[in-house]
A and B are shown apart, each in its own frame.
Chain A
């Protein structure tokens, strides 16, 4: 029952939403409106509770077991509470906006900007033209890197047009092939979910 009923629900709602696409009748449209605007949106919101639980459980466990670096977990929890209290106390006022603009945004932006350094290091140490295919990849990458920036146009007037041709012809053809494959794969996975063949989203017993 615990396994069967969810599978029945999965098949029922999946099939209903699939055939609804082809039925323009007002009852079908109304069913779609209610499911999308109420059920899906509300259920999705509850999943945020899982994220909260995960965050607090992980850090509280680290603190209670006094694992290495546990006081960083205390900082994480304190930051979360500080941001939430600031938001509720000021009703999303300027102080809350400033916390986002001058603390959260710079932290995330800087973390991701570290990738520039690592890609430079990887370019020197790892990107090797070991065979014909790798050479083709590196040559194309070099042409695109130079041609897509103003210095490419400065060095050779035809460079931007060459890059545009690479993007709109060979790149586009291969990406389209990959996209079609991904699309067909996604449809197959969706069918498997609806038919109960794919059950990993339900977890264990």
Chain B
């Protein structure tokens, strides 16, 4: 068996080991390659940066389950830090599915430690789960207080100082959905389209290519795509002098780079091996037919 044939028959566990090593190594010995922000990330950052304490609230939606935590948690935390630093009122909605609430609680618990002067109900509100998915999005457009009744901690909405002036989307400056599913499409249809509220998205890299159409049409203000999008937002926060925390997305970018290089190498090697072995088989077939 030739070299390429042996290579194509390689036990996949060696490939698993390879991808594990190229991800681990840069985490321990980082190169700190610079992250260059792109326009979709800058658009979202700049929009939030224009807001202040007197602005309408930011409605930040957590659409992250633990399965998408590495990509979306850095985005959630970066945007929360940005809003709280600027004093922008934040309504942090835990999510459209029950399993998302835990992620939202992890995010808010972590960030609030950095802002001990910020109070729930006064500077931010954390809303829990209500079943209904699209019905919830539509219902928020009618009345937030009737939709939720109380915040995550059980405190009635109408007793929260921050919510006194906020009834529905008309009192919200932007809805930002940080999502690992197709929920941005529901927010777009039932929130942005029906009620005209501004809309931004942070999503996993899988979904990002499909949302460029909405960016170009002006239906979305900005887009953070995947871990790179989160790293871009962290970079913009750093460049503008805002607190950045540990910058988990930026730290992961070196591993991301080398992981991609390995995948490209595997694709190239696999294809070279395929064409070489295919040519060898064709040649062997021709020779066998000649002998007969």
Contact = CB atoms under 8 A, between A and B. Distances in A.
Q: Do chains A and B touch in the complex (CB under 8 A)?
A: yes
A191 to B, nearest CB: 16
A175 interface: yes
Contact of A168 (B70, B102, B138, B212): B212
Nearest to A159: B36
B131 A48 contact: yes
A192 interface: no
Nearest to A177: B213
Contacts of B24: none
A179 interface: yes
Using C-beta atoms within 8 Å of the partner chain, give the interface range for chain A: 35 or more
A146 B213 contact: no
Interface of B: 8, 10, 12, 15-16, 18-20, 23, 33-36, 38-39, 65-70, 99, 102-103, 105-106, 109, 130-133, 135-136, 138-139, 142-143, 146-147, 209-210, 212-213, 215-216, 228, 253-254, 256-264, 266-267, 269-271, 274
A28 to B, nearest CB: 13
A40 interface: yes
B38 A160 contact: yes
A120 B103 contact: no
Contacts of B264: 142, 145-146
B69 A97 contact: no
A14 B20 CA distance: 52
Interface of A: 32-33, 36-37, 40-41, 44-45, 47-48, 97, 100-101, 104-109, 111-113, 116-117, 119-121, 123-129, 138, 141-142, 145-146, 148-154, 160, 164, 167-168, 171-172, 175-176, 178-179
B106 to A, nearest CB: 6
B97 to A, nearest CB: 10
Contacts of A127: 267, 270-271
B105 A97 contact: yes
A151 B257 contact: yes
A131 to B, nearest CB: 12
A109 B212 contact: no
Contacts of B68: 112
A126 B215 CA distance: 33
Nearest to B250: A150
A68 B103 CA distance: 35
Contacts of B36: 150, 153, 160
A129 B109 CA distance: 48
Contacts of A44: 131-133, 135
B263 A105 contact: no
A36 B209 contact: no
